[in-house]
Amino acid sequence: MTIFEGKSVFSGIAIGRIAILKKDKQSVKRTHVEDTARELERLDAAKKKTIEELQQLYKKAILEVGESGAMIFEVHQMMVEDEDYLSSITNIIESQSINAEYAVATTGDNFAKMFASMDDDYMKARAADVKDISERLISALQGRGDASLHAEEAVIVVAEDLAPSETVQLDKKKVLAFVTRYGSSNSHTAILARTMNIPAIISVEYAEDIDGKMAVADGFTGKLIVEPEESVLREYEEKRRTELEKRQLLQELKGKENVTKSGKKINIYANIGNVSDVANALANDAGGIGLFRSEFLYLEKDTFPTEEEQFQVYKTVAENMAGKKVIIRTLDIGADKQVDYFELGHEENPAMGYRAIRICLDRPAIFKTQLRALFRASMFGTISIMYPMIISVNEVKQIKSIVEEVKKELTEEGIPFAEVEQGIMIETPAAAIISDLLAKEVDFFSIGTNDLTQYTLAIDRQNAKLDNIYDSHHEAVLRLIRLVVENAHKEGIWAGICGELGADTTLTEEFVRMGVDELSVTPTFVLPVRKVVRDME
């Protein structure tokens, strides 16, 4: 038995034989040509063929992984038609009098290096995409087919790396799991694997002699166990059975409405912290994103994320959700989420200190950068913006005036943006108590029960000693929730819950009865909550 450790990008257990995916390596020779015009014609024909192939792949992917998963092939089409990419190829053919294949390979390498050297993780991951389309163009020039899997039975696919087009082209029925040596959790291949609901592990330093051997791919711990001992195998077979039963039951609820027997409906959205969680939200059939904790963007870095970096992230999330609502919460730094470069300094009571909207209003330059990125991204999907830790109407008025400044600047710069829904989090007793006044100022409320419990009960949510009395079911918390929902409805706005309590299935019925319009929960809780809603009267 040999265990190779990697990083999980999608959970699940797969047991089966390993098939190492061998790619038909394309050898590209540099050849001198007299007739460069003829090479340009060949390039043009190959480009057309490639676009046709990508359109076919797009159609296939829509059926298998849905619109958001298929989007990568639209991006690939755009890349093939990209002016910079094409003029680099043309220029190499003409200036060096060489064959089109070689010019495509050189340009592909150059562009991939350029992407790989970028700081932004999302852009870095695009290196694999540009390599993918270049190989496809070369195949079209050489009249070859794609890399494929020659296996009779379903297998654990092991590869150096997998391009998105290879991933969807594989016969899904024959793939038990994906295991790669390279790749990133941000790559489209990882996103596709999650969307396809197939366990996936990356960064596995596997040995070549594992081909054809029996193995277990543990997508929970990121382990590839080759030739497992009998007892280990039995243990995993049991785990897989339980896992499949659980999934099966819940999968039956996919595509079904969140509606009670008497016809009352509620939205069930997902909470996410980064782009890669979107696939999980979709895989669990979330109706939208109810809370994107944008501060994780800041926490992952050692300096402020730029407007462009943020824009790319928000745009990707909006695009991947394909028109479904995406509620992005502005920066909620401070308290337990400390970031050195903010230089917040020591505080006696950080949970009640300089945090979230208080920092944003005090340092408008940071806030405006985020708002600009959000408004720019609003053109690529349905984005709503939500502000955390509100305690007063005055704060909302200050936010509105900064938002107006941002919109004015964007308009002057000719940058398009959509009108977005703007709401606030209700996570302080103050906000809950004056929710009648706040409701006149905003488009929606989202109740943050984690903080609302902490502040209502005066119990630090971080203090392990008080864990047994930190009680989100406390009557005071529930009364505040009820009050907030009533006040929202009186002003004709909607109210949801995005704190952990929203996923507490022992309270789902009560929330539906209170008239809560939306519950935003960890992706894996979407279907369990749906089940309770559908089972109630």
Q: Residue 451 Cβ, how far from Mg ion at the closest point, in Å?
A: 4
Q: Is 427 in the site for Mg ion (CB under 5 A)?
A: yes
What residues between 24 and 83 interact with ligand PEP by CB under 6 A?
Answer: none
Binding of ligand PEP by 530 (CB under 6 A) = no
Tell me, residue by residue from 461 to 500, as one string, x for binding to ligand PEP by CB under 6 A and - for no binding.
Answer: -------------------------------------xx-
Closer residue to ligand PEP in complex, CB, 129/395: 395
Q: At what angle do helices 100-116 and 121-142 cross, to 10 degrees?
A: 170
d(CA 420, CA 418): 6
**What single letter denotes the amino acid at residue 255?**
G
Q: What angle do CA 277, 283, 285 make, to 5 degrees?
A: 105
Q: Does 450 sit near ligand PEP (CB under 6 A)?
A: yes
Part of the chain binding ligand PEP (CB under 6 A), chosen from 162-170, 193-201, 281-289, 443-451: 443-451
Contacts of residue 199, Cβ cutoff 8 Å, sequence gap at least 6: 8, 10, 11, 12, 13, 14, 176, 177, 178, 193, 217, 218, 219
Rule CB under 5 A: say whether 6 interacts with Mg ion: no
Q: Is 149 helix (H, G, I), strand (E, B) or coil?
A: coil
**Mask: binding to Mg ion, 448-467, rule CB under 5 A, as x and -?**
x--x----------------
The type of residue at 34 is E
Instruction: Strands of 397-458 (E only): list them.
Output: 421-426, 444-447
Say which entry of ligand PEP, Mg ion, none residue 499 contacts (CB below 5 to 8 A, set by partner kind).
ligand PEP
d(CA 446, CA 297): 21
Min dist CB 312 to ligand PEP, Å, is 23
32 is catalytic: no
- For residues 357 and 393, the answer to whether their CB atoms sit within 8 Å is no
Size of the site for ligand PEP (CB under 6 A): 10
Q: How far is the CB of 429 from ligand PEP (least distance, A)?
A: 13
Shortest Å, Cβ 450 to ligand PEP: 3
**Residue tagged active-site, from 32, 76, 150, 188:** 188
Task: Please report how many Cα atoms fall inside a 13 Å half-sphere around the Cα of residue 295, on the Cβ side.
Answer: 18
With contact defined as beta carbons under 8 Å apart, do 468 and 518 qualify? Answer: no
Minimum CB–partner distance for residue 116 and ligand PEP (Å): 33
Q: Concatenated DSSP letters for 283-313?
A: HTT-SSEEEEETHHHHHT-SSPPPHHHHHHH
Identify which of residues 372 and 461 has a Cβ nearer to ligand PEP in the complex: 461
Neighbours of 400 (CB within 10 A): 13
Q: How far apart are CB 247 and ligand PEP at their closest, in Å?
A: 27
In this chain, which of 219, 228, 448, 523 binds ligand PEP, going by CB under 6 A?
A: 448
Does position 528 interact with ligand PEP (CB under 6 A)? The reply is no
Three-point CA angle 365, 370, 374, nearest 5°: 145
Q: Candidates 89-97, 364-372, 444-452, 480-488 — which segment interacts with ligand PEP by CB under 6 A?
A: 444-452
Half-sphere exposure of 10 (CA within 13 A, CB side): 29
**Taking CB under 6 A as the rule, which mask of x and - marks residues 497-516 in contact with ligand PEP?**
-xx-----------------
CB of 286 to Mg ion, least distance (A): 20
Residue 355 contacts ligand PEP per CB under 6 A: no
Least separation in angstroms between CB 502 and ligand PEP: 9
The tokens for 155 are 């297998």
264-278 core/surface letters (b: 16 or more CB in 10 A; e: else): eebbbbbbbebbbbb
> Residues 175, 176, 182, 187: what is their CA dihedral angle, to the nearest 10 degrees?
70
Question: Closest separation between CB of residue 347 and ligand PEP, Å?
Answer: 17
- Token pair, residue 246, equals 């659980």
Catalytic position from the list 76, 150, 360, 498:
498
Only segment of 33-41, 162-170, 395-403, 447-455 that touches ligand PEP (CB under 6 A):
447-455
Q: Which is nearer to ligand PEP, 20 or 299 (CB)?
A: 299
Q: What residue 2 binds from Mg ion, ligand PEP, none (CB within 5 to 8 A, per partner kind)?
A: none
- Gap between the Cα atoms of 308 and 376, Å rounded: 10
Start-to-end CA span in the chain (Å): 52
Dist CA 84 CA 98 (whole Å): 19
Among 309, 319, 427, 518, binds ligand PEP (CB under 6 A): 427
Taking residues 327 to 346 in sequence order and writing x for each that binds ligand PEP by CB under 6 A, - otherwise, the string is: -----x--------------
DSSP per residue, 446-482: EE-HHHHHHHHHT--TT-GGGGGG--TT-HHHHHHHH
Instruction: Choose one: 35-43, 117-125, 173-181, 449-457; the region binding ligand PEP (CB under 6 A).
Output: 449-457
Question: Out of ligand PEP, Mg ion, none, which partner does residue 47 contact, by CB within 5 to 8 A per kind?
Answer: none
Determine whether 498 is an active site residue. Answer: yes
293 binds ligand PEP (CB under 6 A): yes
Q: Smallest gap, in angstroms, from Cβ of residue 293 to ligand PEP?
A: 5
Region binding Mg ion by CB under 5 A among candidate stretches 49-57, 305-313, 442-450, 510-518:
442-450
d(CA 443, CA 421): 6
Binding stretches for ligand PEP (CB under 6 A): 291, 293, 332, 427, 448-451, 498-499
| Catalytic residue ranges | 188, 498
Binding stretches for Mg ion (CB under 5 A): 427, 448, 451
